[in-house]
Copies of this chain bind each other. A is one copy, B any other.
Amino acid sequence: MGYEMAGRLARGGADVLVWNRTKEKAKPLEKYGAKVADELAELASRDIVFCMVSTWKDVKQVVENLLKKEKHVPKLLIECSSISLEGSAELREVLEKKGIRYLAAPVSGNAKVIKAGRLSFVCSGPKKSFQEALPYLKMIAPAASYVGEGELARIVKICHNVFLGVVTQSLAEITILAQKAGVPRHAFLEFMNQSVMGSTFSRYKTPAFVNLDFKVTFTPHLLRKDMDLGLDAGRKFEVPMPLASATRDLIQSMIGQGWTEQDFATLLLQQAEASGLKLKPENVEVGDGLA
């Protein structure tokens, strides 16, 4: 995802210096005018640093290496990974001590969504930092929301992913019901996607549901992790979440039955088996709404 983000920044006219563990992966960005750093620490001299990695552990390591020389520090760090409230708060403390402003800025969408210009940011931290970041965020994504101080953007991203889990399971239930009643999956989803209930997400999951291509975009384990973060927040704030809980248990069942290496959209396969149905790809060309 970082690649697509950097590409959009460079093409948008920003002066971009990029670092990736595997330098070759960043090289093609040079054609948009970006420079590629040899060492992560080089980025410390920039005003604004974006960070987009996988887990809190990665964020921690990246920030440590970024700041290890301590000669220069950036003015603002924009952290876009999906991490917990606790990790985000720990990071804020570290950065504050060094006088670095910090914007928590997780996103909705994947690499293809960025490429299609459909990403959205949800941001929290000092309002001033948000305003400072906004021109750059807008180069990457058409939409950037500010939801408040501190780590609030993290809980919003967790809520977003809980909703994604529930929506996927519900789509699985109704798609299998429609199919058993006689409606092909592609015809059913074509209507759903055009209906008031259709979303960018339902559209880009349609090829998986129709043609059973479950190349991983997000693993069942990662979705379970986010559902658990949501349920943990529900415990903390005393909010019962019956649909989130039921979905979480269905994801656990899917994992227990061995569906772990493909995309979490295999919830459809589990739903089909529970309905006495063996699915076959429909082999119908369907768009993902992102092309």
A contacts, CB < 8 Å to B: 108-109, 113, 118, 120, 122, 142-143, 145-148, 150, 152, 155-156, 159-160, 162-164, 166-167, 169-171, 173-178, 180-184, 187-188, 190-192, 194-202, 204, 228, 230, 233-235, 237-250, 252-253, 255-258, 271, 273-277
Those 8 A-B pairs whose CB atoms lie nearest each other, nearest first? A108-B195, A143-B194, A253-B274, A159-B174, A145-B191, A240-B252, A180-B237, A240-B249
B183 adjacent to A147 (CB under 8 Å)? yes
A190 close to B145 (CB less than 8 A): yes
Contact of A155 among B143, B183, B202 (CB under 8 A): B183
* Residues of the B chain whose Cβ atoms lie less than 8 Å from the Cβ of A275: 237-240, 256
Q: A147-B187, A160-B191 are in contact. List 12 more A-B contacts (CB 8 A).
A: A108-B194, A143-B194, A145-B187, A147-B184, A147-B188, A155-B182, A160-B195, A162-B173, A166-B243, A240-B274, A256-B275, A257-B274
Total identical chains: 4
Contact: B276 with A177, CB < 8 Å? no
CB–CB A196/B204 < 8 A: yes
